[in-house]
Chains A and B, each alone.
Chain A
Amino acid sequence: GESVGLHLPTLSVQEGDNSIINCAYSNSASDYFIWYKQESGKGPQFIIDIRSNMDKRQGQRVTVLLNKTVKHLSLQIAATQPGDSAVYFCAENFSGGYNKLIFGAGTRLAVHP
């Protein structure tokens, strides 16, 4: 596969377990946040987003939690499947002049059978 994320932090989980991927963001003025999933050799794929006036948002098998006090974002994946193996990026949207996405370095999720 492509060498995206050679030195990224890795989270290893067993198939069927729940996964929690964490992200620290940088700007208190960011107004919403996005999680992306990137499989090897592919472009990032939108998973879920959350506005800064919310603490929690749920999607299909995924939940995003936002803690503005400590500028922390997490992505929870329920009943993790082998197809969830990928690199996950958080991105914060900073509306400083134009909408700019600032991406984190990413976390690799490895799901073992």
Chain B
Amino acid sequence: DGGITQSPKYLFRKEGQNVTLSCEQNLNHDAMYWYRQDPGQGLRLIYYSQIVNDFQKGDIAEGYSVSREKKESFPLTVTSAQKNPTAFYLCASSIGGLLAKNIQYFGAGTRLSVL
């Protein structure tokens, strides 16, 4: 099956702990994205990557870090500096490039809670 796989589905973080959320895609997409979703709000962009080995901050990057060492993988680390990490995290990918439609396809999400 082609698609985007996020793991784990549920994750719990202790105070002062860094946690990493996994996102893998086998769609051969160049661009990948991380969003945060809180109740009653739309999706907010954390980080995005247009191509392997490159990534840019989104609108709410503070307290998060990413890497893009492989085309198919874009892990997100929620650091201890993120004081309100409880949210639903969504990873997406798209073909990429300014000439292509930016239709983003989403994974099933990871729900992060603080213990």
Contacts and interface: CB of A to CB of B under 8 A. Distances in A.
Interface size class of A (residues with CB under 8 A): 20 to 34
Interface residues of B, number: 27
Contacts, number: 61
B98 A6 contact: no
Contact of A46 (B39, B43, B98, B105): B105
B39 A89 contact: no
A89 to B, nearest CB: 6
Contacts of A43: 4, 6, 90, 92, 106-109
A49 B106 contact: no
Q: List the 4 shortest-distance A-B pairs measured between CB atoms, nearest first.
A: A43-B106, A99-B102, A7-B40, A103-B42
Interface of A: 2-8, 32, 34, 36, 41-46, 49, 89, 93, 95, 98-101, 103-106
